[in-house]
């Protein structure tokens, strides 16, 4: 397949997926739209799935009007004889998509009830008529107030479980949302008052003023003196001389400024602080002090509810932190439902737990007071539970289902067509002999001898689970109703509680929405995925540029982006790399970072002398951000007036590299950050045009890169020692401490005139969006590089401008599809691309994407994406063909323990190898406080010791195919035991004590698998057994770029395959393995996936898998043998015995 065809197939796949995601969601018109302030909720039309399945049933079974409510399909034996097995198989596949329980074989069905049972009637006297879906559930779950609870316990024959469930809605607190804009922020909240050490940036204050009514209250300048002794006496003496100072509290002196100070001085405390510092140095010359300041704010509680929902800032971080702090054995957190829950047995315990939950400052918790309803599991003591258990033992082929949790027992016997009479007679005979007729009645509805029925009922619980999961991917997306051409705004999706969808409406548009909703019947809603459409448009434009006659900043990009051997090499590379050469000496003398290793220096050096393209391979943990900062520094040091574009798919990667260039020595690099200012972290906003312009206009004392430049100049003045110019320098320093509008304007214009670095995410780059309007990137580009024309709105001149950079630096390139990689490169005269082709290719190759394409009928496209060409990233194609003089590889990693490094080093042997940069004695050092140490300190009977850093748990269980995915329940049991081992290990308390001071990511155990269904079932196990353990669970495709102290990898694939979970081995039928044999490694076949999975671990790596099966492939055999040499191989049976004995 040609390169151009591959590129277009990538875009085609993304377009098809976007088309599917954009489809309307049917709305139930029988329920009216409910408004609550800025929120509204709608109900999804649940009949859609039934209608699709109903049409197929009517066609296959030749039925005119199939009634779904009957729970089965009834037809004649004659009709059944004309139905092909293929048709029934097809219907079975459709039933799974439509959440219908359907069986290809006909069924005999009956019910068993308790004689004289009137418990349900007594229950309904208290709570009213039971909800419809109650009759279909096994759990017997009811929602009751505490008052109803007290009445129900008096009813004879009803048993309530001791554990009662409490569920409360939660959202991030105002102080927490503020903290997400800063890496480090000292912030406290009491009621509606917030105190911050420092003050908020203008863009952040404006946001919170808009959403929460945030307002200034006061300021404090806090001076902490080195010596408290004699401080109060000195202050009293100064007071006698007419000097007024605050009374010290021990060694601290606080100056307070009320809200009036803000209005008068626009929050400019710099000059006030400077004045006080000079004065206090005179008053207390022998007592040094440190200065800090705080700002007090208040917000409007009435806006709290909607404000937190409207400003859905860093939601994932909030839920992760809440999960880590609260989620556990006693408390459970649900992100999709936005709730926290716990069990209790008494009112006293309820009050205690509720107060505990409300004590966490990061979240706001709400309830309904006396009307709040709690979850009760009730059981009708009818004897049907025990009867069901006995039926399963006596008649294992009889399918039973208890509904209403004890009200009724349904039994089903499936049979082959034509055997009905014989099976029915046998069933009657068995039940007559088994069931106690004095206590129970059983009935089998009569049916015609020549009629057969097939089970056909909706699976409510499965539908809710899977539809919520799908819809949750659209959270925080704007929705519309009407038609795509004449659409009307509805709101942003806030919460999914299937079938209910909850939206929050922009405050400015609430009247518009209420008016439109009242005039229109909402039949369907659809998401606004304009951002994704814009991205696809830019990708399509990129391919067109490469195939057209249009001139590019470097026209040779049309060649080397397809074939990197066409890129110009460095002719005299050997001379340049000679360490005695003047060029190398000059390079080493002017390094920005002192910590670069030899491989980093060589790669950076090559990129400096490359004319149009340089590629750098950066394996996991090799310091890519540090190297990228150095590349930028070296290029600008050589030519200050050039334009560099730094791009990556994530804001974090861009901000990390730019922020590394921030220093107090010089401002040679002058960055500007493009992007939506509201979504930028404080580090990114610091470099934004909005922050600079706000500061320039004197509206706020806004922290920004231009103000920092002035501060650097001011600090360098302080270090000058020249008596002849001291007086002038002092005046200039004071002026810079409190620059007037003219000075701000001068420095802003000068800075923007010499901007030489732009930071932006890759998907935002381009001139026009999907509506053929200027993109925000292009508007920012014009505002920086064509300021005069942009200010004067000279559109004729502006339209003729094209985006162009001297250098484009792209990070995380191996994750990009070919068009995504090319998108920023076409705007540069030279490109420096950083990635790692030994890690995962673009996500479009993943299981989830292919399954989605198959589910929407794009089997051919899914098959195309499964071809070998799509397993190779564009970065790999370029890297393998490019001239050696313009490519480099980092060969030293600083993330993993040496033993883990040894397990993945084989993946890089063709690239010069990968070594551990941690000093050996430091890596093994038994201290958590040593940065280079990879000590974990855990020890458990013959399983793990502090010296063990790699383990393979050998599991010999069969895999099971579920749809297109795979599951291995034996490995899930092994993971359960491993987590028990880790929880009960010696040294766990010390490890936890150290982790308590670390970030959320440090605390989490990483749990990775190659298959989505395996993740699904692992998650179920975790909820039941390890709720207290902080875990990050994800497929390997989604774990790339992350790292954790402990990683557990579930391999899933086995050399044998079972049909269902509890299938026993049958050595008579399958003498070799007891199950059918299978040889595939599936997704685990890819060395890249294995590399990513293993290289996430810092301190301890645990692989769970079938060693015999995987060792047939050399890369796995090498991993297995390396772990055998450096760590431990443990059979699952041995692990299980140890846990049973000691766990």
Phi and psi at residue 997, in whole multiples of 5°? -100, 0
Residues 6+ apart with CB under 8 A from 16: 853, 856, 858, 861
The domain total for the chain is: 2
* Alpha-carbon gap, residue 517 to 515, rounded angstroms: 6
List the chain residues with pLDDT less than 50: 132-138, 266-267, 844-845
Closest alpha carbon to 274 in 246, 287, 258, 293? 293
The pLDDT, as a whole number, for residue 679 is 64
The distance of Cα 487 from the centroid of its chain, to the nearest Å, equals: 30
Phi and psi at residue 1010, in whole multiples of 5°? -90, -10
The pLDDT, as a whole number, for residue 329 is 56
Closest alpha carbon to 190 in 62, 85, 102, 297? 297
The pLDDT, as a whole number, for residue 813 is 92
Closest alpha carbon to 398 in 386, 408, 406, 389? 389
Q: Indicate whether 936 belongs to any domain.
A: yes
Domain boundary pick from 510, 525, 540 = 525
Q: How many Å is the Cα radius of gyration of the chain?
A: 34
The distance of Cα 417 from the centroid of its chain, to the nearest Å, equals: 50
Q: Residues 900, 949: contact at Cβ < 8 Å? A: yes
Q: What CATH number corresponds to the domain at position 1131?
A: 3.40.50.300
Q: Indicate whether 490 belongs to any domain.
A: yes
Helix (H, G, I), strand (E, B) or coil at 49: helix
The distance of Cα 73 from the centroid of its chain, to the nearest Å, equals: 43
Closest alpha carbon to 619 in 778, 834, 298, 824? 834
Question: What are the CA-CA distances from residue 424 to residues 414, 430, 536, 678, 1129 (Å)?
Answer: 10, 10, 60, 69, 54
Do β-strands 950-954 and 1128-1131 pair in parallel, antiparallel, or remain unpaired?
Answer: parallel
Other beta carbons within 10 Å of 688:
23
CA trace torsion 709, 715, 720, 723 (10° rounding): 110
The distance of Cα 562 from the centroid of its chain, to the nearest Å, equals: 33
Residue 102 β-bridge partners: 456
DSSP per-residue codes, 1085-1140:
G-HHHHHHHHTTEEEEEEEEE-HHHHTTSHHHHHHHHHHHHHSEEEEHHHHHHHHH
Domain boundary pick from 509, 525, 541 = 525
* Alpha-carbon gap, residue 1143 to 1136, rounded angstroms: 9
Q: Indicate whether 122 belongs to any domain.
A: no
* Alpha-carbon gap, residue 60 to 73, rounded angstroms: 11
* Alpha-carbon gap, residue 1105 to 1087, rounded angstroms: 16
pTM above 0.95, yes or no: no
Q: Indicate whether 704 belongs to any domain.
A: no
Residues 6+ apart with CB under 8 A from 1075: 958, 1056, 1057, 1058, 1063, 1065, 1066
Q: Residues 1052, 1015: contact at Cβ < 8 Å? A: no
Residues 6+ apart with CB under 8 A from 166: 341, 342, 343, 344, 350, 353, 354, 374, 375
* Alpha-carbon gap, residue 13 to 15, rounded angstroms: 5
Q: Indicate whether 911 belongs to any domain.
A: yes
DSSP per-residue codes, 188-239:
EEETTEEEEES---HHHHHHHHHHH--EEEEEEEEEEES--TTHHHHHHHHH
Find the domain containing 904 and state its range.
Answer: 899-1061+1071-1142
The pLDDT, as a whole number, for residue 133 is 44
Q: Is the peptide bond before 1065 cis (omega within 30 degrees of 0)?
A: no
Q: Residues 761, 674: contact at Cβ < 8 Å? A: no
Exposure string of 1122-1131, with b = 16+ CB inside 10 Å and e = fewer, is bbeebbbbbe
Domain boundary pick from 478, 500, 525 = 525
Residues 6+ apart with CB under 8 A from 1074: 1056, 1065, 1066, 1067
What letter does residue 181 receive in the DSSP assignment? T
Q: Indicate whether 137 belongs to any domain.
A: no
Could you give the count of Cα atoms lying within 13 Å of 983 in the half-sphere of its Cβ? Answer: 18
Q: Indicate whether 833 belongs to any domain.
A: no
* Alpha-carbon gap, residue 846 to 1080, rounded angstroms: 17
Helix (H) or strand (E) holding 808: strand 807-810
pLDDT 10s digits, 550-596: 999 999 999 999 999 999 999 999 999 999 999 999 999 999 998 99
Q: Indicate whether 1098 belongs to any domain.
A: yes
């Amino acid at each position: 397949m040609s390169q151009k065809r591959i590129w277009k197939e990538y875009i085609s796949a993304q377009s098809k997926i976007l088309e599917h995601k954009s489809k309307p969601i049917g709305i139930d018109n029988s329920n009216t739209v409910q408004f609550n302030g800025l929120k509204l909720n709608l109900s999804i039309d649940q009949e859609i799935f039934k209608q699709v399945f109903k049409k197929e049933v009517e066609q296959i079974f030749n039925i005119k009007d199939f009634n779904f409510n009957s729970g089965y399909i009834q037809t004649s034996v004659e009709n059944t004889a004309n139905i092909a097995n293929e048709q029934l198989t097809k219907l079975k596949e459709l039933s799974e998509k439509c959440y219908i329980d359907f069986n290809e074989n006909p069924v005999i069905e009956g019910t068993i009830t308790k004689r004289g049972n009137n418990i349900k009637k007594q229950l309904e006297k208290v709570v009213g008529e039971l909800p419809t879906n109650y009759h279909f559930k096994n759990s017997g779950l009811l929602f009751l107030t505490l008052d109803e609870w007290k009445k129900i316990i008096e009813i004879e024959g009803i048993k309530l479980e001791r554990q009662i469930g409490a569920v409360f809605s939660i959202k991030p607190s105002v102080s927490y949302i503020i903290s997400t804009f800063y890496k480090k922020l000292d912030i406290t909240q009491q009621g509606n008052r917030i105190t911050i050490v420092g003050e908020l940036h203008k863009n952040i204050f404006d946001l919170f003023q808009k959403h929460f009514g945030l307002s200034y209250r006061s300021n404090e300048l806090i001076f902490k003196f080195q010596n408290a002794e004699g401080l109060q006496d000195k202050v009293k003496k100064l007071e006698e001389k007419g000097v007024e100072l605050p009374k010290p509290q021990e060694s601290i002196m606080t100056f307070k400024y009320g809200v009036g100070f803000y209005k008068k001085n626009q929050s400019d405390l710099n000059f006030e602080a400077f004045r006080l510092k000079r004065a206090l140095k005179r008053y207390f010359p022998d007592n040094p002090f440190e200065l800090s300041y705080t700002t007090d704010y208040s917000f409007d509680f009435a806006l709290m509810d909607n404000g937190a929902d409207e400003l859905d800032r860093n939601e994932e971080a909030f839920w992760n932190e809440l999960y880590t702090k609260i989620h556990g054995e006693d408390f459970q957190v649900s992100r999709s439902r936005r709730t926290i829950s716990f069990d209790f047995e008494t009112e006293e315990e309820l009050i205690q737990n509720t107060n505990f939950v409300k004590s966490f400052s990061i979240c706001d918790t709400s309830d309904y007071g006396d009307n709040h309803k709690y979850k009760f599991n009730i059981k009708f003591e009818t004897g049907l539970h025990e009867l069901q258990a006995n039926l399963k033992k006596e008649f294992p082929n009889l399918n039973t289902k208890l509904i209403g949790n004890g009200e009724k027992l349904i039994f089903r016997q499936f049979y082959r067509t034509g055997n009905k009479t014989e099976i029915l007679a046998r069933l009657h005979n068995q039940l007559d002999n088994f069931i106690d007729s004095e206590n129970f009645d059983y009935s089998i509805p009569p049916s015609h001898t020549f009629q057969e029925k097939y089970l056909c009922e909706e699976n409510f619980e499965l539908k809710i689970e899977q539809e919520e999961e799908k819809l949750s991917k659209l959270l925080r997306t704007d929705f519309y109703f009407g038609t795509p051409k004449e659409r009307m705004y509805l709101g942003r999706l806030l919460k999914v509680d299937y079938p209910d969808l909850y939206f929050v409406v922009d405050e400015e548009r609430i009247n518009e929405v209420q008016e439109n909703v009242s005039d229109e019947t909402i039949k369907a809603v659809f998401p606004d995925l304009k951002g994704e459409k814009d991205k696809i448009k830019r990708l399509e434009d990129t391919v067109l540029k490469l195939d057209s006659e249009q001139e590019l900043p470097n026209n040779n990009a049309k060649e080397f982006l397809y074939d990197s051997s066409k890129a110009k090499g460095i002719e005299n590379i050997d001379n340049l790399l000679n360490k005695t050469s003047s060029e190398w000496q000059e390079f080493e003398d002017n390094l920005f970072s002192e910590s670069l290793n030899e491989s980093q220096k060589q790669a950076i050096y090559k990129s400096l002398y490359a004319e149009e393209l340089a590629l750098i391979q950066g394996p996991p943990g090799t310091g890519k951000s540090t190297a990228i900062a150095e590349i930028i520094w070296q290029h600008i040091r050589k030519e200050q007036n050039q334009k560099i574009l730094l791009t990556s798919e994530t804001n974090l990667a861009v901000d990390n590299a730019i922020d590394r260039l921030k220093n107090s020595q010089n401002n040679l690099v002058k960055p500007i950050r493009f992007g939506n200012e509201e979504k930028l972290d404080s580090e990114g906003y610091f470099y934004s045009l909005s922050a600079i312009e706000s500061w320039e206009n004197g509206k706020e004392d806004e922290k920004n890169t231009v103000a920092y430049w002035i501060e650097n100049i001011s600090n360098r003045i302080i270090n000058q020692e020249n008596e002849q110019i001291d007086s002038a320098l002092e005046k200039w320093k004071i002026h810079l401490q409190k620059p007037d509008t003219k000075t701000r304007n001068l420095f802003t214009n000068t800075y923007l005139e010499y901007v030489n670095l732009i930071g932006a995410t890759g998907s935002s780059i381009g001139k026009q969006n999907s509506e053929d309007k200027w993109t925000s990137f292009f508007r920012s580009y014009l505002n920086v590089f064509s300021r005069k024309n942009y200010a004067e709105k000279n559109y004729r001149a502006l339209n003729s401008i094209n985006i162009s950079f001297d250098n484009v630096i792209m990070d995380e390139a191996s994750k990009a599809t070919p068009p995504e990689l090319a998108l920023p490169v076409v705007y540069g005269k030279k490109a420096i691309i950083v990635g790692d082709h030994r890690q995962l290719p673009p996500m479009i190759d993943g299981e989830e994407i292919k399954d989605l394409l198959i589910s929407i009928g794009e089997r051919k496209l899914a098959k195309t994406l499964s071809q070998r060409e799509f397993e190779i990233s564009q970065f790999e194609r370029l890297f393998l063909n490019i001239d050696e003089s313009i490519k480099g590889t980092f060969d030293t990693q600083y993330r993993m323990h040496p033993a883990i490094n040894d397990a993945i080093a084989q993946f890089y042997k063709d690239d010069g190898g990968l070594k551990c940069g941690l000093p050996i004695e430091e890596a093994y050092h038994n201290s958590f406080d040593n940065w280079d140490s990879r000590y974990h300190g855990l020890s458990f009977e013959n399983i793990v010791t502090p010296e063990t850093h790699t383990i393979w748990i050998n599991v010999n269980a069969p895999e099971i195919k579920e749809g297109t995915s795979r599951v291995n329940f034996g490995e899930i049991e092994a993971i359960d035991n491993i987590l028990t081992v880790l929880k009960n290990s010696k040294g766990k308390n010390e490890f936890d004590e150290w982790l308590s001071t670390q970030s959320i990511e440090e605390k989490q155990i990483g749990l990775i698998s190659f298959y989505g269904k395996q993740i699904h079932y692992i998650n179920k196990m975790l909820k039941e057994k390890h709720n207290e353990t902080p875990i990050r669970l994800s497929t390997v495709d989604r774990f790339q770029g992350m790292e954790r102290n402990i990683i557990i990898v579930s391999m899933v694939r086995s050399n044998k395959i079972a049909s269902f979970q509890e299938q026993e081995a049958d050595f008579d039928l399958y003498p070799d393995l007891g199950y059918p044999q299978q040889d595939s490694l599936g997704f685990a076949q890819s060395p890249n996936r294995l590399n990513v999975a293993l290289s996430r671990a810092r301190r301890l790596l645990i692989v769970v898998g079938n060693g015999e099966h995987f060792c047939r492939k050399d890369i796995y055999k090498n991993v297995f043998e390396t772990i055998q040499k450096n760590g431990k191989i443990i059979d699952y049976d041995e692990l299980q015995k140890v846990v049973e004995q000691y766990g």
